[in-house]
Amino acid sequence: MAALPRGSMLAVRADYEKIAGTLPKDLSVAAINSPGSCVIAGPVETTDAFSKYLEQQGISSKLLHTSHAFHSS
């Protein structure tokens, strides 16, 4: 893992189906935790931009403290 590029993970308080159509191509669904909670992962810049987009849509999210974008392409 240490040799791979850095990345981010974002916990999202929404059904995956609600955000699936807006998910940028370089982000991956890392986990579906429950019907109202999922985690996305990918490059730091894209994750940050998607977090801001979600905020504008009224969808709560939280950056997870990780060194890499685990469970992502």
For the chain, how many structural domains are there in total?
1
- Assign residue 32 a region: left if phi > 0, alpha if psi is -120 to 50, beta otherwise? beta
The answer to whether residue 66 sits within a structural domain is no
7-40 pLDDT per residue, tens: 889 999 999 999 999 999 999 999 999 999 999 9
Whole-Å CA distances, 36 to 14, 23, 26, 41, 44: 5, 16, 22, 17, 23
Q: Is residue 45 part of a domain?
A: yes
Task: Write out the two tokens for 70.
Answer: 């685990």
Residue 44 lies in a domain: yes
Which helix (H) or strand (E) element contains residue 28?
A: strand 28-34
Cα–Cα dist 33/36, whole Å: 8
In the sheet that 37-42 helps form, which strands lie side by side, from edge to edge? 28-34, 37-42, 8-12, 61-64
Confidence of residue 73 (pLDDT cuts 50, 70, 90): confident
The answer to whether residue 38 is domain-embedded is yes
Containing structural domain, residue 37: 8-57
pLDDT confidence of residue 72 = 76
Whole-model pTM: value is 0.87
CATH number at residue 43: 3.30.70.250
pLDDT tens by residue, 47-66:
999 999 999 999 999 999 88
